[in-house]
Amino acid sequence: MKAKINNFEIDLSKPIDISIPLTNTDENPIAWYLEKPTIEPVVFGDWIGKVSEGKSATNFNNIFFNPHGHGTHTECLGHITHDFYSVNQALQTFFFTAELISIQPEIQGEDLVITKNQIENALSSKTPEALVIRTLPNQLAKKSRKYSHTNPPYLLEETAIFIRELGIQHLLIDLPSVDREHDEGKLLAHKAFWNVKNTQKVNDDARFKATITEMIFVPSEIPDGTYLLNLQIATFENDASPSKPILYEIKQCI
């Protein structure tokens, strides 16, 4: 199935899924000092909600997980504010032009950071609606990595400001956070991207519709460039939701 937008053609039968599945196995990535997710059948007395146990006609599981720590998730500014804001209300449209860039974080002291100059050079004056950052080296281990206490790479505050000032509304990255793991609660990149100056009483010019998606994985064979992004979330009324971002190759019509 193909769709045409202006002078461009998109093959909707060839999605590029950049989400990480949520499982109850040791293959599940974990951040923020959590244990792995739990997926288990409901039990009522001697009744077990699992067909293979022989006492149920259906599989009937409970799932316990944390969207921020257990896989690909999309969050809104409600992640850092005193008042409640829902990502389900923030994200009302789901297709965006997106630029995929690959960045090798730079060493600064004991940290690996993504700088403003790196983003600026990689974008080459492009201003997409969404920015997808793939960090290098791009190891398959990202799909099952245990990030707690590892000080992963992160965005400098000036980098997040630059992305915001470009007008990019949706930021996607293959790290557990855009901020440093231990940052004394400063959350400089989150605040800069959403333009939140006061988390207790959010300023009127904060970016209520902008989102950050973390813990994606973009396969190495997918080249940097311009794509159509379909950013799908579950309809949770929460600051964050598990999500399934999908990229589609864009081809110019002849």
- Compute and round to an integer the Cα radius of gyration of the chain: 19
Sorted by sequence, the CB contacts under 8 Å of residue 160 that are 6+ apart come out as 178, 188, 189, 190, 192, 193
List, edge to edge, every strand of the sheet that includes 154-155.
Answer: 106-108, 111-114, 154-155
Domain range enclosing 221: 2-22+67-252
Distance CA 87, CA 85 (A): 7
Residue 40 lies in a domain: no
Residue 200 lies in a domain: yes
Structural domain count, the chain? 1
CA-to-CA separations, 233 to 85, 210, 252, in angstroms, rounded: 15, 14, 29
Residue 42 lies in a domain: no
- Check whether 8 has a pLDDT greater than 80: no
Residue 56 is predicted with a pLDDT of 95
CA-to-CA separations, 50 to 9, 38, 55, 194, in angstroms, rounded: 45, 15, 7, 44
Q: What is the pLDDT of residues 182-225, one digit of tens each?
A: 999 999 999 999 999 999 999 999 999 999 999 999 999 999 99
Q: What is the pLDDT of residues 143-170, one digit of tens each?
A: 999 999 999 999 999 999 999 999 999 9
Distance CA 233, CA 246 (A): 11
Q: What is the pLDDT of residues 75-102, one digit of tens each?
A: 999 999 999 999 999 999 999 999 999 9
Residue 61 lies in a domain: no
pTM, two decimals, is 0.96
- Number of residues that make up the chain: 254
Residue 136 lies in a domain: yes
Distance CA 131, CA 135 (A): 13
Residue 27 lies in a domain: no
The first and second tokens of residue 245, run together, are: 């971002």
CATH number for the domain that contains residue 119: 3.50.30.50
Residue 223 lies in a domain: yes
Distance CA 222, CA 18 (A): 10
> 67 with 86: CB under 8 angstroms?
no
Residue 60 lies in a domain: no
